[in-house]
Amino acid sequence: MAADHSTPDPHGAARPDQAGAAPDPATVAAGLTVGVLGGTGDQGRGLARRLGLAGNRVIIGSRNPARAVAAAASVGSPPQVTGASNEDAARGSDVVIAAVPWEGHRDLLAQLAAALDGKILIDCVNPLAFDSRGAYPIRVEEGSAAEQAAQVLPGSTVVGAFHHVSAVLLLDPEVAEVDLDVMVRGDDRQATDLVQALAERIPGARGIYAGRLRNCAQVEALTANLVSINRRYKSHAGLRITDI
Amino acid sequence: MAADHSTPDPHGAARPDQAGAAPDPATVAAGLTVGVLGGTGDQGRGLARRLGLAGNRVIIGSRNPARAVAAAASVGSPPQVTGASNEDAARGSDVVIAAVPWEGHRDLLAQLAAALDGKILIDCVNPLAFDSRGAYPIRVEEGSAAEQAAQVLPGSTVVGAFHHVSAVLLLDPEVAEVDLDVMVRGDDRQATDLVQALAERIPGARGIYAGRLRNCAQVEALTANLVSINRRYKSHAGLRITDI
């Protein structure tokens, strides 16, 4: 189980010193190369754009490397943001965001298990279906998309995050800052600390620890409620956690 | 299904006029007598206290009417807040909040089906379990507590709301205003509009429409994440919806 893995150190320069002091997550996050699997979709491109603007190197992955290169060009310029196959994006990155459609989620991650071994996999996939009445959650056998990822990636540390971040706002050049908290869930404290710090590289976002992997399903499914809210209020709704 | 019921008009004085204009939900909400089933628990007492302070008449219900009377005395004074049996609270109220423990949820509501007929039942029950690692959601056969309520109360209009409202803050005399949005879900527009208006009688709260009954499970379950957040940050976390 991912809970028992020590977090991989994605950045040699920030390795703990001899006394064992933990590296500062914000410093480590600043130096990460971030892969975005399925990064040609709006959510993936939006995250790639904001992390690239923040100064991270980003590798957009796609089944079709040419499409990944085009997506990268649409949100940044090399070497800051580049495109590659999903496998090369996974291999070349320190941490990897899965922003793939739910339908191909399990198979793609299973194929990339070796490339993702020892890395943090950030899952932001929402298992949702749509009909005339709007969005609703799909029941997932493993509990949630994130738990499915943990099951097919026994050598990776899976963290759930970025589910409620509006792709429209991430991609909008008029939007300098978003107004939302990123609920980060996982069983490994060092990994969730790092993903919180990575979330905070997006201007306006705050990374909040919000529970273990077993509490991912409802966060993924809550995206259906945000879809309902957006329909009713013509908004790009996000969440803020109060009293912290 | 609750979706096909017209909303009961809980307050004769605010009945639509001959031209069929809908009554203002805030005006209707101000005149409601609110029953709180299982109102001797912290959540029920907290809601009773705030709604009583706002000027609503509130009837706290309990299996044990003497305990309900004592709970009422702890949060208000008669005739503003009174105590009764669950059945008398249901019969004597215009809208009824179910704030009962999950364990007895289905049986209690089934027993009260006649008393709740034609009324709005607001379900705020969180089907959660706890272990040493914190809270986690219980899978509910009907999908969610609110959908279970709708199934056993075919003559009532069920609305989900008030899941993320901290009982501690509701009961704290030092807290003049809460800082949160109440996510209101249901299949009947007039009912959700009214419950949104009722939520806004709690100072600081905003009532937000957040989807249909089929999207209740994740809102109920998200309370487990708020428990995790509260443990980590020593907070009484609530949610705000941004961009609306």
| pLDDT for the residue numbered B78 | 87
A39 DSSP assignment: T
Q: β-strands A57-62, B157-160: how paired?
A: unpaired
Decide if A189 touches B, using CB distance below 8 A: no
Q: How confident is the model at residue A141 (pLDDT cuts 50, 70, 90)?
A: very high
**pLDDT (mean) for B111-138:** 98
Decide if B204 touches A, using CB distance below 8 A: no
Residue contact A238–B236, C-beta within 8 A: no
Angle (nearest 5°) at CA A240 between A238 and A243: 170
Beta strands in A65-200 (DSSP E): 81-85, 95-98, 120-123, 128-131, 134-137, 157-160, 180-186
**Least confident among A15-24, A38-47, A91-100, A172-181:** A15-24
| pLDDT for the residue numbered B16 | 45
**pLDDT (mean) for A125-139:** 97
Residues in A closer than 8 angstroms to B180, CB to CB, are: 242
Q: How confident is the model at residue B5 (pLDDT cuts 50, 70, 90)?
A: very low
Residues in B closer than 8 angstroms to A218, CB to CB, are: 137, 217-222, 224-225
| pLDDT for the residue numbered A21 | 74
B6 DSSP assignment: P
Among A214, A216, A238, A206, smallest CA distance to A225 is for: A238
Say how far apart CA B87 and CA B115 lie, in whole Å: 7
Percentage of chain A exceeding pLDDT 70: 92
Residue A1 has a CB neighbour count (10 Å cut-off) of 10
Q: How confident is the model at residue B14 (pLDDT cuts 50, 70, 90)?
A: very low
Residues in A closer than 8 angstroms to B209, CB to CB, are: 228-229, 232-233
Decide if B207 touches A, using CB distance below 8 A: no
Q: β-strands B134-137, B128-131: how paired?
A: antiparallel
Among A223, A214, A51, A202, smallest CA distance to A137 is for: A223
| pLDDT for the residue numbered A20 | 65
CA distance A89 to chain B (A): 32
- CA-to-CA separations, A148 to A94, A101, A217, B221, in angstroms, rounded: 21, 14, 10, 19
Contact between B210 and B184 (Cβ < 8 Å):
yes
**pLDDT (mean) for A103-112:** 97
Task: Give yes or no for residue A25 having a pLDDT over 90.
Answer: yes
CA distance A219 to chain B (A): 7
| pLDDT for the residue numbered A22 | 75
For B195-206, what is each residue's pLDDT tens digit?
Answer: 999 999 999 999
Decide if B224 touches A, using CB distance below 8 A: yes
pTM of the model: 0.91
Say how far apart CA B185 and CA A232 lie, in whole Å: 12
Sequence length of chain B is 244
- Taking one residue from A and the other from B, the number of pairs with CB-CB distance under 8 angstroms is 132
- CA-to-CA separations, A51 to A29, A34, A55, A195, in angstroms, rounded: 10, 8, 6, 12
Residues in A closer than 8 angstroms to B165, CB to CB, are: none
Residue in B178, B185, B222 to test binding to A, most A beta-carbons within 10 Å: B222
Say how far apart CA B242 and CA A210 lie, in whole Å: 18
Say how far apart CA A228 and CA A144 lie, in whole Å: 21
Say how far apart CA B75 and CA A190 lie, in whole Å: 44
Residue contact A236–B229, C-beta within 8 A: no
Residue in B132, B178, B202, B225 to test binding to A, most A beta-carbons within 10 Å: B225
Contact between A7 and A190 (Cβ < 8 Å):
yes
In this predicted model, which residue has the larger pLDDT, A17 or A54?
A: A54
Residues in A closer than 8 angstroms to B227, CB to CB, are: 211
CA distance B133 to chain A (A): 9
Q: Which of B180, B210, B218 sits opposite A221 (nearest CB)?
A: B218
Q: Give contacts of B 37-76 with A, CB under 8 A.
A: none
Contact between B35 and B92 (Cβ < 8 Å):
yes
Residues in B closer than 8 angstroms to A229, CB to CB, are: 208-211, 241, 244
Residue contact B225–A243, C-beta within 8 A: no
Contact between B147 and B121 (Cβ < 8 Å):
no
For B134-188, what is each residue's pLDDT tens digit?
Answer: 999 999 999 999 999 999 999 999 999 999 999 999 999 999 999 999 999 999 9
Q: How confident is the model at residue B20 (pLDDT cuts 50, 70, 90)?
A: low
| pLDDT for the residue numbered A19 | 57
What are the tokens at B113? 């089906």
Task: Give yes or no for residue B7 having a pLDDT over 50.
Answer: no
Say how far apart CA A137 and CA B199 lie, in whole Å: 26
Say how far apart CA A142 and CA A36 lie, in whole Å: 23
Whole-number average pLDDT of chain B? 93
- CA-to-CA separations, A178 to A71, A203, B163, B208, in angstroms, rounded: 22, 6, 26, 20
The gap from C-alpha B34 to its chain's centroid, in whole angstroms, comes to 9
Residue contact B183–A225, C-beta within 8 A: yes
Decide if B30 touches A, using CB distance below 8 A: no
Task: Give yes or no for residue A2 having a pLDDT over 70.
Answer: no
CA distance B228 to chain A (A): 5
Backbone angles phi, psi at B208, to 5 degrees: -120, 125
**pLDDT (mean) for A95-108:** 97
Residues in A closer than 8 angstroms to B237, CB to CB, are: 241-244
Residue in A4, A193, A241 to test binding to B, most B beta-carbons within 10 Å: A241
Decide if A133 touches B, using CB distance below 8 A: yes
Cβ burial of A17 (10 Å; 0-12, 13-18, 19+) is exposed
| pLDDT for the residue numbered B19 | 57
Task: Give yes or no for residue A1 having a pLDDT over 90.
Answer: no
ipTM: 0.91
Question: Three-class SS of residue B137?
Answer: strand
